[in-house]
Structures are given as structure tokens and as C-alpha cells.
Chain A
């Protein structure tokens, strides 16, 4: 590892720590400091004074703010998010149960996003300023304007309720719960255990949710791919290749796309926050037992500890992910240095 790369990684990690602190503090500010009483927000209007006071004591918001903040940060640093208030187990265990479903949904959606995005984006860039280019661009704008949960509803209505081809909710058919899980991703578990029925069942349940999420994110990705490809196709070596008589298709897809690939994949990594936002809505639509469902359900269950813990978990997750993407980018592209 070169000195430059080492320095880059160290600086990047050094920048991440204050950002984590800021983000976690923001979560704290929103949940504890801003006007709006969590007790009232969770228990709703009409709760008795005693109930409110008991709730405040239970989540520890009757203590002075600086002590609360200290406890909160200590909890985050030791990855201790406290006990769930409705389920008799630590919040960390809850997250362990629900997180794999989100990961599985995210992976399959990303596969669709990458296929759709790179395919149409590269095609539009190759045929820049043509009718097909404008068609793809306008379609991607309109596709991105579709509310993610509504696309899900339409898929449910057409392929689920209407044609009856695919299941509309859950990760597996009712009653088909695997006895134990290894990774928590049912598709991968099924392959490891060579349980092909389980694999088919898991895949059938994955199709509609991941199509929903993947297509909407694909719309953004079409535009990113197109913009990057257009830049690459204006490079001198493409012109040189053209002068040597290479076919346009070879130029675009073999020489162009290959070089546009690195920034495109990085950009895909940067859409991570968007992916998580979309996952929350997709999970709500398809009753998919992932992190989004966990948060939304527990808001209704008035389980403040789990909601807070899950949000902090998301904060750590996005920070960790963007750190990894940036470091990977540093390895791939030697021009990226501080």
C-alpha cells in the first residue's frame, strides 16, 4: 500500500468519526431536545399524566439533558441500544432478526437497478441526441416520479390479486418457515442447505418487492450511467479508436462502458441512503419483515427504545457504508487522494 493511499484512508476514517458523532447527535436532538415530547408523540393525546410520567421514566427522559446525552453516546459506542419496550429482548437482537430481510431485498433490488440502469443508460449515451435518447430520458424522469409504494401496489394488483402469479406479502409462504437460519438471507440459506423448494419459495416472494425498488432506483441510475458514458465517449482514445475503424458498438460497449464502470459503481454505492428510504416504503407495501417494517411497526407499538436504536443503527450503517465505498474507490482509482 502506497503512502498516499494510507494517508487517504486515515484521513477518510478521521473524517467519518466526527460525522458519526454529528449524525448521532442530530438523532439525539430530534428525539430529545426539539419541541415535541416523545411520551406524548408515542402515547398520543389523551394519555393520563401518570402514564406520561411513567413512560418518561422508562426511557429516561426525565433526567437532565447532558446526562441523557452522555448515556446515549455511551450506548452508541458500545452498540448497546437498550431493551425493547414491547418485546422482552434487547434492541440489538431485534435488529439482528429484521436486518437480513432488508439486506436480501437490497441485494436483489441492486441487481435489477444495475441491469436496467447500465443497459438503458449506456444505450442512451451511445445514441445521444437521438429520439431514443430523449425517449429513455423522459421515461426515466417519469419512472422516477412514480411513488415507490404505488408501483408496488400496482404490481400486487396485477401480478398478485389479478393474475395470481406471485405472492404479494411476506418472505415465504405461511407455514414454510425454515427451522433455523445461517445467514438470515433465505435464498443463500436455501443454497447452503440445498433446500430447493425453499429457494423457489424465497425467490417467488422476492420478485415483486425487488422489481419495485430496483426499477425506481434504476431510473436514477439510467441518468447517472448516461452522463458518465457521455463524458467517456468524448475522450480522445474513443476518437482514436474510431479513426482506426472500430465499430461504434465496440467503441461504446467495450471501450467506453468499461472505463465508465468505476464511477458508475461508486455512484451506485452513494445511492445507499436512497436505497434504504425506498426499502422502508417497499417493506411497508409488501409486509416485508425488514428494518423499515420494524421501525414503522414499533412506532405504532409505542416502542420508543427500538425506534431510537434502529435509527442510530441506520446512521452507523450509512456512515460505515460510505466509508467502505470511498476506501474502495481509493484503491481502484489512484487519482483520488487528499
Chain B
């Protein structure tokens, strides 16, 4: 039985073809591929979840990523307001309509946004102290307080009472310096990151594979010139190359993708050229040639399909790297136009408020970049062990 068979013993055909569910098949993958299978599945799962979230962004994201929805620097989980009055003097009963009332709020905070949204008249105060004095002194009868502040302040004997516990909306991951909802920016930002990274890897692979096939198959002078050129690009610091390309091409999603793709062309070129050189010498290619097959057909039918597995691995690893490079570019402030929600850009904005203690602005975008990059890396690593069993001897 499968449960008692050691990993090394081949499973019976019945085991392999047994009609089991998707989840169980994934869990069984380890029997064929070893622990690498889990690495692959872990990477794949991360990517599926994030891709799904960003494809569903219009539904999942609570707000428009560019809308100044809340007050600036609302901490994670904050935003909810509590309606507070002097004990026993509330002009409205709990749960009743608020319209027509005048509410005291703190300027530029979520309370003043809420009053505007509910179309209430508001009395604005410069800070929390003035607001509480205003309420205690009878200038206003009702005030909006941040829920956590209210919880702390309105205890028995403080002279205040809670009228309505929860009003307004909660910002799960807080808001940034312009009051934009970070959760929404992260959800939409995944599109930008995935779009840039995948299209740059696609561009790089198309160019790199074509040149690699050409170089390896044609040999001679073409091969030497191409190899030297690719080696020179490869030895140059990638980010620097992307920086000057991005500066020259100007801002724009497609331009960034082009700028980044240049770095990765040599990677595809090298792996494809190396494979072509070794496959070209193999017996079956020689056999095809001696039977009179055309070069084009040899390339198309015998060499290209054998290059694909290595390309898949490099592709996945390259996307991971491209994500980091793209984030680095926008952190420096190059590449994307400012109205595109982007994690790297958010981090560079957050950097300015780091000393002020706005930790949420720099924490979450970075976590997302790491997750996506790690997803592609894990997938590529796992796949390389699975698709290249000879390497996995190590």
C-alpha cells in the first residue's frame, strides 16, 4: 500500500492512475518528486492567491486606489468613529437619525470626513484637547472621536458617554500620507507589478531565445559577436542598465518593461545557446540531418522543444528578479507615472515618513513584494528540481 511504501520504491500503475481528487493528487506529488514538490506547491499557492486577488481587485479592493478617501496616516485597523456626548445630555437617542445635528470634529481627521459624508454640520477643532474642551464647555453637544481614543477616554466618571459605538469605515491596513486606502493600493498594485514583471520576462525570453537559437545553431562569427555582446551586458550591473534605459525611455508601464527586459536577455541567451550546442551534437539530430532534414526543421522539431524546460525555470526565476528590479526602479523614483498604484512607489513615499513612525506605510508594500518574488522563486526552484531530475542528485 502507498502508505507503507518507502519513497524510493516505484508505485504501481494503479496507484499512479488512481482517480483521486485534485487536492490529494497535489499532496501525493511528494511521492514522485520528493520534498521539492512542497516548495513548488508553496510558491504556486502564493501566486494563485495574489493573482486571484488582483484580478478580482474591482470587487475585493474596498476603495479606488487613487481616491483620497480617509484622513492621512490612519493607522491599520483605524478609521472607525464613535459618537460621544456629555453624560445624560445627548440630543439624539442611540440608533436615531443624526441629520440636522451639529457635530464637533477634529480638523483633517476621519471624523471630519465622516461628518462631510453624512452631510452633518460640523464644528472643527485644531486638536483633540480643544475638541474635548468644546464638548465639555457646551459649544457642541456631540463629537466624533476615533474609536480607540473614545474607548480609552469614555470611562465611567469621565463625564462623557458613548451614543453610537461604530460609525464610518475601517481601514484594515491604514491609509497613506494622502489618505488613500493602503489595502486597495496593494490589491491594485499587484496588477502593475505582475504586468511589468511578466511582460518584461516575456520580452526578454522572446529576444533571448531567438538570439540563443541563432547563435548556437549558426556558430561561427555570429556566435562569437553575439556571445561577447551578451557577456558584456551580463557583466554590467543590471539595475544601472535599467536605470539609464528608464531615464531615456521616460515614464510608462511598457517603457519600464522594456527597460527591465534588457537585463534578462543574456540569461535566456546563455541557457538556450548552451542547450543548443549540446543538443546539436546528439545522435538523433545527426540522424535527422543525414536523412536530409532542413536546418529550419531540425531547429523547430528537434532542438526548440528540448530547450523549453530550462526556459520555463529561467522564466520563473527571472520574473522574481524583475519584480525586485521594478520595485527598485520605482523606489528610486524612475519608471512608472505617479497615478499607477505601485508598491515600490508606495515604499519610497513611506520612506519620507519613517522617522515620524508611520510604520504601516513601509511595512505592507514590502511584504507584498517579498511574497510575490518569493512565490516565483520557490516555483522556479522547485520546478528546476522536478524538470531536471539529474540536477536533483544534489
Q: Any chain A CB within 8 A of the CB of B373?
A: yes
- Do B351 and A153 touch across chains, with their CB atoms under 8 A apart? yes
Least CB separation from A275: chain B residue: B237
Judged by a CB distance under 8 angstroms, whether A88 is at the interface is: no
The answer to whether B235 and A319 have CB atoms under 8 Å apart is yes
Q: Determine whether the beta carbon of B328 is less than 8 Å from that of A147.
A: yes
Within 8 A of A (CB), among B235-251: 235-241, 243-245, 247-250
Q: Closest CB-CB distance, B200 to chain A, in whole Å?
A: 16
- Is the beta-carbon distance between B237 and A145 smaller than 8 angstroms? no
Interface positions of A from 284 to 338, Cβ below 8 Å from B? 284-285, 295-296, 299-300, 307, 311, 314-315, 318-319, 322
CB A300 to nearest CB in B, in angstroms, measures: 8
From DSSP, what is the main secondary structure of chain B's interface residues?
A: helix
Nearest CB on B from A48, distance (A): 18
Q: Shortest beta-carbon distance, A222 to chain B, in Å?
A: 13
User: Which residues of A are found within 8 Å of B331, using beta-carbon distances?
Assistant: 147, 149, 281, 284
Smallest beta-carbon distance B56→chain A, Å? 24
Q: Is A149 in contact with B347, judged by CB distance below 8 angstroms?
A: yes
For A38, list chain B residues within 8 Å (CB). Answer: 248
Q: Which residues of A contact B347 (CB under 8 A)?
A: 147, 149-150, 153
Point out the residues of chain A lying under 8 angstroms from B344, CB to CB.
147
Interface string of B33-74 (1 = CB under 8 A from A): 001000100000000000000000000000000000000000
Tell whether A193 is near chain B: CB-to-CB under 8 Å: no
B378 within 8 A of A: yes
* Given contacts A134-B35, A149-B328, A299 and B243 within 8 Å (CB-CB): yes
CB distance B244 to A31 under 8 Å? yes
Task: Report how far A35 CA is from B255 CA in the complex, Å.
Answer: 12
A274 to B240, CA, bound (A): 10
The stretch among B95-103, B123-131, B352-360 that forms the contact with chain A is B352-360
In the bound complex, do residue B359 and residue A280 qualify as a contact, i.e. CB atoms below 8 Å apart? no
Does A64 reach chain B (CB closer than 8 Å)? no
Task: Name the residue on B nearest A322 (C-beta).
Answer: B235
B229 at the interface (CB under 8 A from A): yes
How far is A41 from B243 in the complex, measured between Cα atoms in Å?
A: 12
**Inter-chain contacts of B234 with A (CB < 8 A):** 273
B240, A277: Cβ atoms under 8 Å? Answer: yes
Q: Is B394 an interface residue (CB 8 A)?
A: yes
Q: How far is the CB of B254 from chain A (nearest CB, A)?
A: 13
When the two chains form the complex, which single residue of B232, B248, B381 contacts A30, counting CB atoms closer than 8 Å? Answer: B248
Does A141 sit within 8 A of B, measured CB to CB?
A: yes
Q: Are the CB atoms of B362 and A280 closer together than 8 Å? A: no
> B232 near A41 (CB under 8 angstroms)?
no
The reply to whether B236 and A36 contact each other, CB–CB distance below 8 Å, is no
Interface size for B (C-beta < 8 A) is: 51
Taking CB atoms and an 8 Å cut-off, the chain B residues in 357-383 that contact chain A are 357, 359, 362-363, 365-366, 369-371, 373-374, 377-378, 381
Least CB distance, B321 to chain A, in whole angstroms: 9
**Which of B237, B320, B333, B355 is close to A314, meaning CB atoms less than 8 Å apart?**
B237
Instruction: Tell me the bound Cα distance from A284 to B240 in angstroms.
Output: 13
| A85 in the interface (beta carbon within 8 A) | no
Interface digits, A8-41 against B, CB 8 Å rule (1 contact, 0 not)? Answer: 0000000100110011001100110011101011
B354 touches A157 (CB 8 A): yes
With beta carbons under 8 angstroms apart, the residue of A36, A153, A168 that contacts B250 is A36
Across the interface, A299 reaches (CB within 8 A) one of B241, B247, B320, B327, namely B247
Contact B354 A311, beta carbon cutoff 8 Å = no
With contacts A315-B236, A318-B237 taken as known, whether A41 is within 8 angstroms of B351 at the C-beta atoms is no
- Asked if A53 CB lies within 8 Å of chain B CBs, one says no
Q: Which residues from B are CB-within-8-Å of A153?
A: 347, 350-351, 354, 362, 366
Contact partner of A147 (CB less than 8 A), chosen from B228, B245, B369, B394, is B369
Are B245 and A30 within 8 A (Cβ)?
yes
The interface of chain B, by Cβ under 8 A from chain A, is 35, 39, 228-229, 231-241, 243-245, 247-250, 320, 324, 327-328, 331-334, 344, 347, 350-351, 354-355, 357, 359, 362-363, 365-366, 369-371, 373-374, 377-378, 381, 394
Closest 10 CB pairs of A and B: A150-B366, A145-B374, A145-B373, A36-B248, A277-B239, A23-B232, A276-B237, A277-B237, A22-B232, A273-B237
- Can you spell out 18 A-B residue pairs with CB atoms less than 8 angstroms apart? A15-B228, A26-B229, A30-B244, A30-B248, A137-B381, A141-B378, A149-B327, A150-B366, A150-B369, A157-B354, A157-B362, A161-B355, A273-B235, A280-B328, A296-B332, A299-B243, A311-B244, A319-B235
